[in-house]
Chains A and B, each alone.
Chain A
């Protein structure tokens, strides 16, 4: 599995990565190809047309795809972890059979709408409202920073059905593109992770059939938080892929770049940078694999998942910054990929729970004991 993904990532994704970044166009054709190979349904059981692989294999796939293109990595991770798995876990039989196989094969592309302009880390304070009127829920409000949103066919959207209950009054809905009153808003222009189709979602008296309620009314926040650990480990894996790509590029460059009549790899100043980069990557890798293996075994892993996410993303930021430094002026130029790695790395410290939120989680665990 890992070998197949690695080959595909190197042969089919890597050659397009710079172009995806430059044009900021969602690589729809590539994503469809990933779907036909099963890459969009790795942890989905075979009975729902997925690959049925374990969680660790899924993490390895995210890492390998992100190594080639971080944008492709996040498209894959969002589609699967938060676009598909909640339906599998909380959907009715009808919802599952209607959507999951088509998501797993890439016929449909999934997205997830939780964040709002004033509800980021404090996700329970969302203002989007859903009011039941007969056979439909009427949704009003907006969602921002929605990865895949530009092209997605299906959105898992969270809205307050009873604002007086706070987090317990939030419900989840499966919203199809084309639903009356639902529109795609402005596309974000970002520093990195270009091509991942980050948009705003706008609900203006959107008519969502009552059958599209996911789980029970009031269960939304539970659904949103249900795959938190898995999602965080996934972003850790993405950051690890980016960091590895930057390190490999830096090592190759250090071996061929000559200054003062010798390879710059002969200078201890460069050697020590490479040694520190590799050591941090190894530490990040072990934290991610440990968290993934605990999750696979069904053991508690919140603390380990948070540690893995923030350590790996901080490491990715440091490693990619050092990679640009090692390349010198060339590293700052778009002719080489390391500046893209550095731009892509930054968001891994922010999304899926900022690294500050991860530290809150870890501290809470420590102080509870």
Chain B
């Protein structure tokens, strides 16, 4: 891996950094407070080409690499983690499986809409009774000859309600389940029998809507089956490998944002007649925060680089995700501590960063699942 970013990667960092500061940051606190998703911000992201960074130009993408993509998620999350996850889901969870497993027609139809940002994407795997044990899902898809009929429901769907395109997974053979009994589908929100259920009230990432989605005799055309029959579980798991890079980048951005605020605050806050940044207790906190963030960044970029080079990245992305999300939790908690009582108030952004950080240890595979993935790779050798 090259430790110096390419000019393209530096350019996208600057582009997204400017965009994040000017267009995303000013409303972040208010959107959090009101639990409001901003379609306007999404449309502007689409306008400057952020929705399809790693997808080929022939499908409406920017034709860049995955490092550029994770840099974009990082920079957005540095000011607003909700906006960061919107892009991560759009790209990694909705775009990637279509890019990797879709037919040419599916790519031209759906990947293009996602890449150009004319549609918002989402991913439906989790169900009330199947979280980490995704193979235990109950949503079914029955072959009716010229179409599929889906029944069941999915929960914790990021971009739920605002998305038009959902990549979802259903049981097509209850006997086989994870061994060839689950199939992936591309479902549009306009399909008959599809509806959006209750919206979750969450601790954090509040301007990213999380909902239930419900299939009630939902009619899905045959050509919307994604990948081969029974290939769904593999698609779901491979999609999450890449999705982890996006969440690692989100966690990285949250941590960096909290550090940015902490350094500024430490420099201007005076106690005992001097800047609190003169105290080693504060200096060492800041040093540890920065060092762990740097390590998280390198792990995240390495995983994205491996994906770009088409090298195995499952272990690397699990490491990046578990490490970056735990760093984000630690760093944001320390940031609130450095701000003291002010940090606990909603007048300052660090409490939001801390609330936002927590989810990165949970979604797209809990930290515990990441450690299972890593251990499996380690012990297989």
Which residues of A are in contact with B by a Cβ distance under 8 Å? 251, 254-255, 265, 268, 271-272, 274-276, 278-279, 282-284, 286-287, 289-290, 293-294, 297, 304, 307, 310-311, 356, 358-360, 362-364, 366-367, 369
Contact = CB atoms under 8 A, between A and B. Distances in A.
A362 B290 contact: yes
Contacts of B283: 359-360, 363-364, 367
Interface string B347-381: 00000000000000000000010111011001100
Given A275-B374, A290-B298, A367 B291 contact: no
B18 interface: no
Chain A facing B: main interface SS? helix
Given A279-B323, A307-B290, A359-B284, A367 B266 contact: yes
Nearest to B373: A275
Contact of B371 (A251, A255, A271, A310): A271
Contacts of B290: 307, 362, 366
B15 interface: no
Q: Which of A289, A311, A362, A363 has the most CB of B within 10 A?
A: A363
A366 B263 contact: yes
Contact of B298 (A255, A272, A286, A356): A286
Nearest to A358: B287
A13 to B, nearest CB: 24
B3 interface: yes
B286 interface: yes
B293 to A, nearest CB: 10
B322 interface: yes
Contacts of B203: none
A249 to B, nearest CB: 13
Q: Which of A251, A276, A310, A366 has the most CB of B within 10 A?
A: A366
A290 B3 contact: yes
A283 B327 CA distance: 12
A321 to B, nearest CB: 18
A367 B323 contact: no
16 contacts: A254-B379, A272-B375, A274-B378, A278-B374, A279-B323, A294-B4, A297-B4, A304-B294, A307-B290, A359-B283, A362-B286, A362-B287, A362-B290, A363-B286, A367-B277, A369-B263
A310 B372 CA distance: 28
A369 B277 CA distance: 13
Interface of B: 3-4, 263, 266-267, 277, 280, 283-284, 286-288, 290-292, 294-296, 298-299, 302, 316, 319, 322-323, 368, 370-372, 374-375, 378-379
A289 B378 CA distance: 22
Given A283-B323, A286-B299, A360-B283, A310 B379 contact: no
Nearest to B293: A307
A290 B301 CA distance: 12
Contact of B294 (A276, A307, A358, A369): A307
Contacts of A289: 3
B291 A307 contact: yes
Contacts, number: 100
A271 B379 contact: yes
B379 A251 contact: yes
B3 A265 contact: no
Contact of B280 (A284, A290, A360): A360
Contact of B295 (A272, A275, A286, A363): A286
A271 B288 contact: no
Contacts of B372: 268, 271, 275
Given A271-B375, A307-B290, A279 B3 contact: no
Contacts of A359: 283-284, 287-288
Given A279-B374, A282-B319, A359-B283, A255 B299 contact: no
A358 B290 CA distance: 12
Nearest to A361: B287
B371 A272 contact: yes
Contacts of B277: 367
A105 B7 CA distance: 42
A227 B295 CA distance: 23
Given A290-B298, A307-B294, A363-B286, A276 B371 contact: yes
A220 to B, nearest CB: 28
B299 A363 contact: no
Contacts of B295: 283-284, 286-287, 307, 311
Given A271-B379, A304-B294, A366 B286 contact: yes
A52 B319 CA distance: 35
B287 A363 contact: yes
A1 to B, nearest CB: 19
Contact of A294 (B3, B280, B316): B3
A287 B294 contact: yes
A283 B298 contact: yes
A366 B283 CA distance: 9
Given A294-B3, A367-B267, A367-B283, A278 B378 contact: yes
Given A283-B323, A290-B3, A310-B291, A275 B371 contact: yes
A265 B316 CA distance: 20
A366 B259 CA distance: 10
Nearest to B291: A307
Given A293-B3, A304-B294, A367-B277, A255 B286 contact: no
B286 A279 contact: no
A290 B283 CA distance: 23
B269 to A, nearest CB: 12
A265 B298 contact: no
A272 B378 CA distance: 11
A293 B295 CA distance: 15
B232 to A, nearest CB: 27
Contacts of B287: 358-360, 362-363, 366
Given A307-B291, A360-B283, A367-B283, A286 B371 contact: no
